[in-house]
Amino acid sequence: MAVAPTRPWLPISLPVLDRYLLLEMIAPFIWGLGIFTIIAAVIGTVFELIRRVLDSGLGVAEAGQVFLLRLPSFIVLGIPMAILFGTLMAYSRLSRRSEIIACKSVGIGARRLVVPALLAGLVAMTSTWALNEYVVPASSYQAYLRLKAGIDQPVTPFQERNIFYREFAQRYLQQIFFAQEFDGQVMQGVTILNFGQGLLSEIIAAESAEWFEPERAWKLSNGTRYLLDGNQAYQEVVPFTHQAFTYRRTPLELAQEIRTPEFMSSGEVKDFLGILLQSGDQKRIRTWRVQLQEKRSLPWVCLLLALIGSVLGINSPRSNNAWAFGLSVAVIFSYYLVSFVTISFGQGGILSPFVASWSPKIGLGLIGILLLIQAQRR
């Protein structure tokens, strides 16, 4: 087995074997990252942008900006595919040159041989996490805003109409808050229904409502307060010009946040999920919980695919570039198909958010471990 010369840009503390295997992975990883990112970008945005340019009046320059802003999200998709392809190609090449056999002949087993692949997977995992947390949410949101502006559909940074909020306590409905319009500060056409032990106890209808932070209260203007008795009959009707009510700030927070999980980091998703939990919208809560777990689990795919790619390469001495590319696509397609199904089940309430997001990754891990055990016994 040839020994790679020491490169100053590789950690000099790594053993020669690890440096050699890591060097073998670099070229196919870069090649795979470019190919898979381009494929994902073409499918995910290029066709759409071309259609927007032809049909919606989007300028070519604006389309180019949108493409560049969306590119980090496709790089995140390409990294797991590239690490699978890179490890598969590197270890297959070693198998074809009988270097894997030479290593085994001196007592270096499959478990030791996959260590460099796991190191590469760890680097890819960290890179994916950093991009997904600090780069992709902001760049994707800016791409969304640029696209809307380019086709003359400006996006306001808040929900303008039909703000709806429900609050539950111990499974009982406590409050329904509805506003017809919102200008970013004041809500118009406000109706509030308050309940006690599941029975309607109060109705408040107001012309407008504004949140005052120092008092931590809503100031309602030009309205009427209807109090109901236990028989749901009107007990008292109280008109008012201005009156403060110490209700939750949640309706305002819901109206001010129009982004989806795609445009948020996991920390932002978690914070907004805390607001959603107060609304009692179980369908939306499930969706956001699944997306939060998906953001947390996605980077682990890189490490797991690095393990699978290296073991498949060790066990495939006759493989070539076309075979490696085809197998990479098959593995990735299978993973995303299973992941799509489990995520759909999670959003539908059939599976818990944790199981929906993590089960495909756990499946990849089990497959990798079984393949490694098999390779170690050969």
What are 323-346's pLDDT values in tens digits? 777 888 888 889 999 999 999 999
Amino acid (one-letter) located at 334: S
Average confidence (pLDDT) over 73-102: 90
CA 131/CA 128 separation, integer angstroms: 5
Phi, psi of 326 (to 5 degrees): -65, -40
Spatial separation of the C-alpha atoms in residues 234 and 229, rounded to whole Å? 7
pLDDT at 5 over 50: no
Please, which pLDDT band fits residue 6 given cuts at 50, 70 and 90? very low
Q: What predicted TM-score, i.e. pTM, was given to this entire model? A: 0.84
Nearest to 253 by CA among 208, 295, 216: 216
- Closest C-alpha to 224, from 206, 243, 209: 206
- In terms of Cα–Cα distance, which of 279, 284, 286 is closest to 176? 279
The b-or-e profile of 296-315 (16+ CB within 10 A means b, else e) is bbbbbbbbbbbbbbbbbbbb
DSSP 10: S
